[in-house]
Amino acid sequence: MLDLSPLNSQLSRNKEDILDLQRCQKKLESLQEHFTQGESKCTEPKLHKNEWSGSKADQFDKKRATLYTGYKELMKQLSGAITIIQNKISALQTSSSQLEKTIKTELVQHQQALKK
């Protein structure tokens, strides 16, 4: 008796995981787009030295630079998370293709054995 249920179960789990990861990827890409649109807010308003100077101005500039550095790090992490998800989707798709081939091969071999 041919039992393909473990392979079919794994294939089904892979497909569910792919759909979940694709939904997550779309949400993260949407957040990334929204986040990117706000990048200019980190450096606004533009303050010129002849309008804004002194220790308060220096402190403000340092805080703004720290904020912008943190912003860029978050963007980097967000891009990294999207890449990880894309790689996992690709790996699951490859695994699913291999499972489908294995299932088909097993079915063909089983049918040939029955004919003998």
Count the neighbouring beta carbons within 10 Å of the beta carbon of residue 44.
8
Q: What is the mean pLDDT of each successive set of 10 residues along the chain, which is 116 residues long?
A: 92 98 98 90 80 84 92 96 99 98 95 87
For residues 40 and 58, what is the distance between their CA atoms, to the nearest angstrom? 20
Task: State the pTM of this model.
Answer: 0.82
| CA–CA distance, 112 with 101 (Å, rounded to integer) | 16
Residue with tokens 């041919």: 2
